[in-house]
Every structure is written in C-alpha cells, then in structure tokens.
Structure 1
Amino acid sequence: MSDWLDEIHWNSDGLVPAIAQDPTSGRILMMAWMNRESLALTAAEGRAVYWSRSRNRLWRKGEESGHVQRVIELRLDCDADVVVLQVEQLGGIACHTGRESCFYRVLRDGQWATVDPVIKDPQAIYAGGHGHD
C-alpha cells in the first residue's frame, strides 16, 4: 500500500493549499498552507496543523488563541493539489481578526465591503499582541 501523502501534488515549495470548512454550514473558514509533516500531524492528532510561511515553522491552529480546529474529515481534490479540512471550529472564530471566517469581505460596486462582524476583539484573543495564531 502506498503512502497516502505520496499521492498529493505538492507545489515547488513542498506545500499544498488547505481550506478549512464548516461541514454543517458549508462556510469556508480559512485557507492556509500545509507541508508533508503538518498534514501527517493533522491526520494523526485530529486537529489542524498548518505550515506558517512567515514564521517558517509548524503552526497548530489555536496554539495562541485557543480556537482549535478539530478535524472531522480530510478531503483531496481531483487534481490532488488542494486539501479540504472539514472542521469543528472551537470558539467559533477562525480568523485572527476575531471573525468567524477569514472571508468576510464582499465585492460591491468595485469596493471590498466588510460584511461580517467581529465576534471577539483580536486584542483580547491575542493578549500578547501577536497576529495570527
């Protein structure tokens, strides 16, 4: 039996885009990157582990905010180059801006309009003044 990780078409940086989705509402919560190690850890731990390109290290979603993503199911697209994580978003906040989803802006009349409210002030989420968790 081949290693399931070998079936993924990693990009030139050894990464694959990972989309976190709420399986109940179907809402896209966020997009991040995964490398082979983070995807293997995600499958093993049952919680989302991403690769932070800015910090050049593994990033367990919720490690600073407490807003962990419990993985219900992993899906791979037909081209094997995008992963979808069906997740239970603990705390209801996926975005570092304090919103439910990172996709909170809609194009209206040639402008990006913010349509989703802040659920929790990011300063309260990241007491240490950090950005993304």
Structure 2
Amino acid sequence: MLFDPATLTYNEAGLIPAIAQDASTGEVLMMAWMNVEAVSQTLVSRRVTYWSRSRQAFWTKGETSGHTQELVALRVDCDRDALLLKVRQTGPACHTGARSCFFTSVREGQEVSEADQSSDV
C-alpha cells in the first residue's frame, strides 16, 4: 500500500506530533510538529524537516547547528495522529545542547535534572 501523508490525522492547525527516537539506542530525543509538507519533505530527502509553530516556517533539523537527523524509519501510530521518527542523530538533539530534550525527571514531586541523579525512581 502506497503511503500518502495526507491520510494522517492532523490537528486543527494542520499539525501532527512527531517523536524522534535514536534508531540505534531507542533513546527518545525530542518531540516537534510536522505538517503534511514536512512529512513529505522528510520522506523525499531523508533529512527530518519539522514545522515551527513560533516562526510559521519549515526547519530541517541541523540546518543551522549541524546537529542533523537522518530518517531511518517513519512509523504511524494506530490512530494515525502521531508519528515516531527513528533517526540517526548527529550531535545533540535539544536546542539547549543536551543529547535529549527529556533530561528533566519528576521525583517525589520535585524536578530533577538527569545530570543530578541517574535513577528514575
């Protein structure tokens, strides 16, 4: 069956959440938004392209930082309203310089940086 990005379920703004995961380690790196054109561009170029809600523009991951994401696989969830992008990440994924955007844990009601503790209890 041929995949058509237009068949995905986008929100009222025409966007779908896309979760980037390291294809080798399984680490969740980040979440960003895509529209139908960003999905199409990503599939053609194999360089992950997102839609910036704040700038109202496309951005290809790493175009300014050099911290690129090469698409290895694209998966669609069962409701067709979220994407999982398995990527080959070059450099950090987070704009803060962290490997992953998910570096803050909530433990016993407190926010804790992953740099402070290694346990997720």
- TM-score, normalised by the number of residues in structure 1: 0.83
RMSD of aligned C-alpha atoms? 1.5
From the two aligned structures, give the one with the greater helix fraction. 1
8 Å Cα contact 2:46-2:72 kept in structure 1: yes
Q: What letter matches 2:9 in structure 1?
A: H
Structure 1 CA distance for aligned equivalents of residues 22 and 90 of structure 2: 11
* Structure 1 position 84, deviation (Å): 0.7
Contact 2:6 2:36 in 1 (8 A): no
1:47 maps to 47
SS in structure 2 at match of 1:6? helix
Q: Give the gaps of 5 or more residues in structure 1.
A: 118-133
* Preserved CA contact (<8 Å) 2:19 2:30: yes
> How many residues were matched structurally?
116
Is the 8 Å Cα contact of residues 99 and 116 (structure 1) preserved in structure 2? no
CA distance in structure 1 between the aligned counterparts of 2:18 and 2:101, rounded to whole angstroms:
13
Secondary structure of the residue that 2:85 maps to in structure 1? Answer: strand
Residues 116 and 43 from structure 1, CA distance in 2 versus in 1: closer, same or farther, beyond 3 angstroms? farther
1:11 corresponds in structure 2 to 11
How far did residue 26 of structure 1 move?
1.0
- Listed one character per residue, the Cα deviations across residues 31-73 of structure 1 (whole Å, up to 9, x for unaligned) are 0000011110000000100000000000110011100100000
Q: Distance in 2 between matches of 1:81 and 1:39?
A: 13
1:77-88 matches, cutoff 5 A: 77-88=77-88
Contact 1:107 1:113 (8 Å CA) reproduced: yes
Provide the rounded CA distance (Å) in 2 between the counterparts of 1:15 and 1:115. Answer: 30
Decide whether aligned partners of structure 1 residues 90 and 107 sit closer, same or farther in structure 2, where only a CA change above 3 A counts.
same
Structure 1 residue aligned with 2:111? 112
Aligned to 1:33: 33
Q: What SS class does the counterpart of residue 63 from structure 1 fall into?
A: coil
TM-score, normalisation: structure 2? 0.91
The aligned counterpart of 1:67 is 67
- Structure 2: give runs of 5+ residues left out of the alignment: 117-121
